[in-house]
């Protein structure tokens, strides 16, 4: 049986993926509007193309990141060992990325930084590691 903490960690990954996808779509929308405004102000297409291309690039990167996070959540639900390892890495990076914003007391930044820290610590616990190792050992025996 899957531990509740692993399930909650997977659901947190799904929330992160949804927020990243929403951010990507927002960047795409705002980038498109900004490029149109820049084109009107500059009376030229070069700035519009640069801003539009940059917005598309950032959106694509954020969507790829959201896809990776979504796959991690699915991997956690399936009990895959690599998903645990990558979740630790991505949670640590997420915590470090949000650390400067915590200093300025942004409520959502503090919440997500603490959730990333909690997921990282939970994934490092011996009981959680044992669950993923047992799951991996069962898969190897069946193969």
The rounded average pLDDT for each run of 10 residues, N- to C-terminus, in the chain (143 residues) is 92 95 88 66 64 81 95 94 94 91 83 94 94 77 68
Task: Determine the Cα–Cα distance for residues 118 and 87; give it in Å rounded to an integer.
Answer: 11
Q: What is the pLDDT of residue 35?
A: 64
pLDDT at residue 37 in the model: 65
Helices then strands (H, E): number in the chain?
5, 0
pTM: 0.80
pLDDT of residue 114: 93
The confidence score (pLDDT) of residue 9 equals 95
Nearest to 20 by CA among 90, 119, 118, 82: 90
């Amino acid at each position: 049986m899957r531990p509740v903490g692993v399930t909650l960690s997977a659901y947190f990954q799904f929330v992160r993926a949804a927020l990243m996808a929403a951010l990507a779509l927002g960047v795409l929308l705002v980038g498109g509007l900004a490029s149109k405004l820049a084109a009107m102000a500059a009376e030229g297409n070069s700035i519009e193309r640069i801003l539009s291309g940059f917005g598309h690039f950032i959106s694509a990167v954020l969507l790829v990141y959201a896809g990776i996070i979504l796959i991690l959540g699915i991997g956690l639900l399936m009990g895959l060992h690599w998903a645990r390892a990558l979740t630790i890495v991505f949670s640590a990076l997420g915590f470090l990325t949000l650390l400067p914003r915590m200093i300025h007391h942004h409520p959502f930044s503090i919440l997500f930084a603490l959730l990333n820290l909690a997921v990282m610590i939970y994934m490092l616990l011996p009981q959680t590691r044992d669950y993923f190792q047992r799951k991996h050992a069962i898969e190897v025996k069946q193969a």
